[in-house]
């Protein structure tokens, strides 16, 4: 007979070596802080290069998939070697201002929600392993359907194959930690370009995401930037609390 709470222990707690179990949450929190901080300094994008590319993929996929959910089209995704990217999409004008406003918000906010789901998936080996397979496969599928830049056609499937390799070859506890780590990276991808959240212009691309939210949803761009930065942090903290509450 199972004891109360035992069924909800994290995969890391049940199967990792003792020293890894003790350090798991500490490493994840440390990685989140270090990643967010390094992205703000010159050269940080290149120090964290694989995660920079993954953060860009999360962000741009958020825009494109929201367009699809609203009945529009996700036309293509371009990711470049400098870590930048752009999603091309089209949505119906019948949605009014709410449509483009939601698509703009989905870039910064879609990844934290997906990241929280990945972190929570670590609570059982079945869901952790399955989530790694889904994420790795989706990176490959997105390449076939949407990625059109030469760099993206190489980098995105490579990341997908690495994640699939972890899901097939890594020990069970490592798969649990890996899905949590990737979930944390998705959550903090909002902070990839923190200054961008509080910028009105996106350079040659026109308005920033938050400026588009100001245009379509009212309230100033800096309000939306602050709100999304805070919301992403809360989502990360709460998902880790749930995942580790029995540790």
pLDDT digits (tens, 9 = 90+) for 36-46: 888 888 888 78
Nearest to 105 by CA among 235, 231, 239: 231
Per-residue H/E/C for the chain: CCCCCHHHCCHHHHHCCHHHHHHHHHHHHHHHHHHHHHCCCCCHHHHCHHHHHHHHHHHHHHHHHHHHHCCCEEEEEEECCCCCEEEEEECCHHHCCHHHHHHHHHHHHHHHHHHHHHHHHCCCHHHHHHHHHHHHHHHHHHHHHCECCHHHHHHHHHHHHHHHHHHHHCCHHHHHHHHHHHHHHHHHHHHCCHHHHCCCECHHHCECHHHHHHHHHCCCHHHHHHHHHHHHHHHHHHHHHHHCCCC
From CA 114, how far away is CA 104, in angstroms rounded? 16
Q: Is the pLDDT of residue 22 over 80?
A: no
**CB neighbourhood size of 199 (10 A):** 18
From CA 200, how far away is CA 239, in angstroms rounded? 31
pLDDT averaged over every residue in the chain: 86
Residue 16: pLDDT band by 50, 70, 90 thresholds?
Answer: very low
Residue 9: pLDDT band by 50, 70, 90 thresholds?
Answer: very low
What pLDDT is stored for residue 130 in this prediction?
94
From CA 37, how far away is CA 59, in angstroms rounded? 18
From CA 130, how far away is CA 5, in angstroms rounded? 23
Q: Of 64 and 43, which is predicted with more confidence?
A: 64
Q: Of 107 and 5, which is predicted with more confidence?
A: 107
- Sequence-distant (6+) residues with CB within 8 A of 65 are 74, 106, 110
* Rg, C-alpha atoms of the chain: 18
From CA 58, how far away is CA 40, in angstroms rounded? 18
Using a pLDDT cut of 70, give the percent of the chain over it.
Answer: 89
Q: Which of 5-14, 56-65, 120-129 bottoms out in mean pLDDT, i.e. has the lowest? A: 5-14
Q: If you average pLDDT over residues 69-86, what whole number do you get?
A: 94
pLDDT digits (tens, 9 = 90+) for 81-136: 988 899 999 998 888 999 999 999 999 998 899 999 999 988 888 888 999 999 99
pTM of the full structure: 0.84
pLDDT digits (tens, 9 = 90+) for 162-182: 999 999 998 888 888 899 889
According to DSSP, the β-strands at 85-90 and 73-79 are: antiparallel
What pLDDT is stored for residue 14 in this prediction?
53
């Amino acid at each position: 007979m199972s004891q109360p709470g035992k069924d909800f222990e994290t995969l890391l707690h049940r199967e990792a070596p003792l020293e890894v179990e003790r350090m798991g949450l500490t490493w994840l929190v440390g990685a989140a802080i270090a990643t967010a901080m390094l992205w703000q300094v010159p050269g940080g994008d290149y120090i964290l290069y694989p995660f920079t590319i993954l953060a860009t993929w999360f962000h741009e996929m958020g825009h494109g998939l929201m367009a699809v959910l609203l009945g529009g089209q996700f036309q293509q995704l371009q990711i470049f070697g400098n870590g930048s990217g752009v999603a091309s999409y089209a949505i119906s004008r019948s949605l009014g201002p709410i449509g483009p406003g939601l698509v703009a918000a989905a870039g910064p906010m879609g990844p934290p929600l997906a990241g929280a789901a990945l972190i929570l998936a670590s609570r059982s080996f079945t869901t952790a392993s399955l989530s790694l397979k889904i994420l790795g496969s989706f990176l490959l599928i997105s390449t076939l359907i949407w990625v059109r830049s030469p760099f993206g056609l190489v980098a995105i499937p490579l990341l997908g194959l690495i994640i699939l390799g972890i899901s097939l070859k890594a020990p069970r506890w490592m798969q649990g930690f890996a899905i949590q780590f990737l979930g944390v990276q998705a959550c903090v991808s909002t902070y990839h370009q923190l200054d961008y959240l509080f910028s009105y212009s996106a350079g040659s691309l026109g308005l920033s995401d938050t400026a588009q939210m100001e245009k379509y949803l009212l309230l100033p761009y800096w309000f939306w930037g602050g709100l999304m930065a805070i919301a992403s942090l809360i989502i990360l903290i709460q998902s880790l609390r749930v995942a580790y509450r029995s540790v």
